[in-house]
Amino acid sequence: MAKANLARLVWSAILPINCLSCGEESDWLCDDCRGDLLAQRSELCFCGQAAENGLCDKHRQELGLDGLTTLWRYSDRGARELIHAIKYRGHTDAIGWLAATYRRKVLAGLPRGDWTVTAVPLARNRLRQRGFNQAELIGRQMTASLYDYESLLLRRRDTQPQVKLKRSERQKNMVRAFAINPRVTVPEQVILVDDVITTGSTLAACAQALRKAGVQRIWALTIAHG
């Protein structure tokens, strides 16, 4: 038995976990609630339009991405509550469950080849308050043993939380927000990780910094969209 699974069994015996969606004692999401989650299809963009590699032509150009792998709609209760439990209530152990349960599905949607994984960096004040970057933890655990992780991006300035902004304000909020980490060697191909894609403004700003530094292909990975 894997150490992570053994630790999970011991922990659940001490402090049982209730499903975040229905409240039944089971796991972070019970079997029924997992079954209710609508998996995103790669032939559809997160905007709902027909797509190739998870992006319609419009969003591929606007975001500067070559592809997108995302699991669920953010409007689905189970997906939303899982992300909130990680981000706002500090349940980083839920990322281990997420990776163990969905890693195979996520990897099946990612391109094969010589890729480097990186994550959208948090603003300094939010990183101090939270103590972790959920996008980095998701990226590391979802792609462990297949791709190398590197902290390629830095925050040039703290920005307002995107969730508090109107759609028209999000892109402006991200202008010149990111820069390349000067201590790293920039790879040709990058998998860029965030927890949620809404308008894509954050991923677009990160992609712009990566392209400027010489990255040739960028594929985004998020847990939810919308």
**What is the block-wise mean pLDDT of the chain (226 residues), using blocks of 10 residues?**
47 68 93 94 96 97 98 96 95 95 95 96 90 97 95 82 63 75 97 96 95 98 96
Provide the whole-model pTM.
0.88
Listed in sequence order, the residues at least 6 apart from 174 whose beta carbon sits closer than 8 Å to its beta carbon are 159, 162, 201, 202, 204, 205
pLDDT at 82: 97
- Parent domain of 35: 3-225
pLDDT at 13: 47
Per-residue HEC secondary structure of 56-122 comes to CHHHHHHHCCCEEEEEEECCCHHHHHHHHHHHCCCCCHHHHHHHHHHHHHHHHHCCCCCCEEEECCC
pLDDT at 4: 47
Q: Which of 141, 137, 155 is nearest to 202 (CA)?
A: 155
Looking at the 3D structure of the chain, how many domains does it have?
Answer: 1
pLDDT at 168: 62
Listed in sequence order, the residues at least 6 apart from 138 whose beta carbon sits closer than 8 Å to its beta carbon are 95, 98, 99, 119, 193, 195, 221, 223
Listed in sequence order, the residues at least 6 apart from 40 whose beta carbon sits closer than 8 Å to its beta carbon are 46, 54, 70, 71, 72, 73, 225
